[in-house]
């Protein structure tokens, strides 16, 4: 079944980045373009936009890189920079960076002077296929991920795979998990093409098409349900258990990259999909083998199950104490709002713990 959804014109996957950015900024006064980036991207990424017409007039703020800097003081730094440099409601903020930066820059632009236009130029695979699209913005607060934020859409998202040449392998593999998720929830064709992609020898030209189709899947769910009242929850597949693994790893000071946590979360939720929605066990086994091959060994201890379950009940996507899952009855299909009880969740954790490779 080829069911790639309609492509949203504001998401542009391009090998002509400077021309595309030039077209967008031509709608704004030249002295009202503000570049927000972080220090790694200042070194590795700015060179790909430096020849944009008018670039010399961009005013720029550079934040410290890293998830630990996704915090209020960084937002304040952007607000101050915009405020002191005469930004107004006719201005454009250009966010250049991974998901940490696009989340922060989008939030700052969305909130200053009751909202300013912004463009995202994502520079990691995770940000290209996921974080920069969909309008979720924000920062970490009070020890909680993305605790403060708003949903507000960018004017445009410009995706160029040349940025990916400088990201490290774990970050490439992390973003790849979200493409796998898009295939699982929406399209077997997409899953197949993602599976054929050689992560050890990445061909960035062919990756351009794969990213375009992957991001179009995310965008189609966002378009139908921007505020996640119903079908956008499809995108949470693998994330309920994945977030628990991610938070647990963070507390034990042995952090897991987001995509790795989601990959292991997907294995557990594939098992739940078998139990609750009759996804055939042979498919669960095949996909689990493949995911373990890419993401490596992962086996939560039995004495961690209670804690993991507690983290799932605190996930902000749950209503009350029920654990609400998005599951897949078949590859390319979703069932949202599937409640699972504690015994079944423990069974799924056991499945991942005992998986016989």
Of 174 and 273, which has the nearer Cβ to ligand NAD? 174
Q: Which residues contact 290 (CB under 8 A, 6 or more apart)?
A: 195
300 touches ligand NAD by CB under 6 A: no
Q: How far is the CB of 265 from ligand NAD (least distance, A)?
A: 13
Nearest CA to 18 out of 63, 43, 51 is that of 51
67 touches ligand NAD by CB under 6 A: yes
Task: Name the token pair of 144.
Answer: 């909680």
Contact predicate 130/238, CB 8 Å = no
117 touches ligand NAD by CB under 6 A: no
Among 11, 17, 94, 103, binds ligand NAD (CB under 6 A): 103
Among 92, 93, 108, 167, binds ligand NAD (CB under 6 A): 167
Residues 205-234 that bind ligand NAD (CB under 6 A): none
Of 171 and 288, which has the nearer Cβ to ligand NAD? 171
181 touches ligand NAD by CB under 6 A: no
Q: Following DSSP, what letter does each residue of 341-352 receive, concatenated?
A: -HHHHHHHHHHH
Q: Which residues contact 339 (CB under 8 A, 6 or more apart)?
A: 322, 323, 324, 325
152 touches ligand NAD by CB under 6 A: no
Give CA angle at 118 (231, 59), nearest 5°: 155
Q: Find the part of the chain contacting ligand NAD (CB under 6 A) among 60-68, 200-208, 246-254, 302-310.
A: 60-68
Of 67 and 333, which has the nearer Cβ to ligand NAD? 67
Dihedral, CA of residue 304, residue 309, residue 310 and residue 315, to nearest 10: 130
Q: How far is the CB of 327 from ligand NAD (least distance, A)?
A: 20
Contacts with ligand NAD by CB under 6 A: the residue count is 31
Of 43 and 80, which has the nearer Cβ to ligand NAD? 43
Q: Find the part of the chain contacting ligand NAD (CB under 6 A) among 121-129, 264-272, 287-295, 323-331.
A: 121-129
134 touches ligand NAD by CB under 6 A: yes
69 touches ligand NAD by CB under 6 A: no
Contact predicate 18/230, CB 8 Å = no
Q: How far is the CB of 357 from ligand NAD (least distance, A)?
A: 27
Among 126, 157, 185, 256, binds ligand NAD (CB under 6 A): 126
Contact predicate 138/150, CB 8 Å = yes
128 touches ligand NAD by CB under 6 A: no
Alpha helix (H) residue ranges in the chain: 17-25, 39-44, 72-84, 99-111, 125-126, 169-186, 188-196, 204-224, 239-251, 258-277, 281-295, 305-313, 342-354
Name the DSSP class of 130. I
Q: Would you tell me how many other CB atoms lie within 10 Å of the CB of residue 339?
A: 12
Q: Which residues contact ligand NAD (rule: CB under 6 A)?
A: 38, 40-41, 44-45, 65-67, 70, 97-101, 103, 123-124, 126-127, 130-131, 134, 136, 145-146, 163, 166-167, 171, 174, 258
């Amino acid at each position: 079944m080829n069911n790639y959804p309609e492509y949203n014109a504001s998401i542009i996957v391009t090998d002509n980045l400077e021309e595309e950015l030039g077209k967008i900024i031509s709608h704004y006064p030249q002295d009202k373009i503000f570049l927000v980036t972080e220090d790694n991207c200042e070194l590795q990424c700015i060179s790909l936009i430096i020849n944009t017409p008018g670039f010399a007039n961009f005013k720029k703020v550079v934040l410290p890189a890293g998830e630990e800097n996704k915090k209020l003081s960084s937002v304040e730094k952007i607000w101050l920079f915009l405020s002191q440099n005469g930004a107004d409601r006719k201005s454009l903020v250009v966010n250049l960076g991974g998901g940490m930066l696009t989340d922060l820059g989008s939030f700052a632009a969305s909130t200053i002077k009751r909202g300013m236009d912004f463009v995202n130029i994502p520079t990691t695979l995770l940000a290209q296929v996921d974080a920069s699209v969909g309008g979720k913005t924000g920062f970490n607060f009070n020890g909680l991920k993305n605790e403060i934020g708003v949903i507000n859409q960018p004017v445009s998202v410009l995706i160029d795979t040349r940025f990916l040449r400088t990201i490290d392998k774990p970050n490439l593999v992390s973003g790849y998990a979200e493409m796998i998720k898009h295939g699982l929830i929406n399209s077997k064709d997409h899953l197949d093409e993602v599976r054929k992609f050689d992560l050890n020898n990445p061909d960035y030209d062919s990756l351009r098409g794969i990213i375009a189709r992957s991001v179009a899947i995310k965008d189609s769910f966002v378009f139908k349900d921007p505020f996640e009242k119903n079908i956008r929850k499809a995108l949470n597949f693998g994330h309920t258990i994945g977030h628990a693994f991610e938070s647990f790893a963070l507390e034990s000071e042995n952090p897991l990259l987001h995509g790795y946590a989601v990959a292991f979360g997907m294995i557990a939720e594939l098992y739940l999909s078998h139990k609750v929605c009759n996804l055939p066990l042979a498919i669960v086994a095949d996909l689990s083998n493949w995911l373990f091959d890419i993401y490596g060994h992962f086996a939560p201890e039995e004495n961690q199950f209670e804690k993991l379950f507690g983290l799932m009940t605190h996930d902000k996507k749950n209503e009350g104490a029920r654990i609400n899952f998005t599951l897949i009855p078949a590859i390319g299909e979703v069932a949202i709002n599937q409640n699972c009880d504690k015994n079944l969740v423990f069974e799924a954790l056991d499945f991942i713990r005992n998986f016989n490779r």
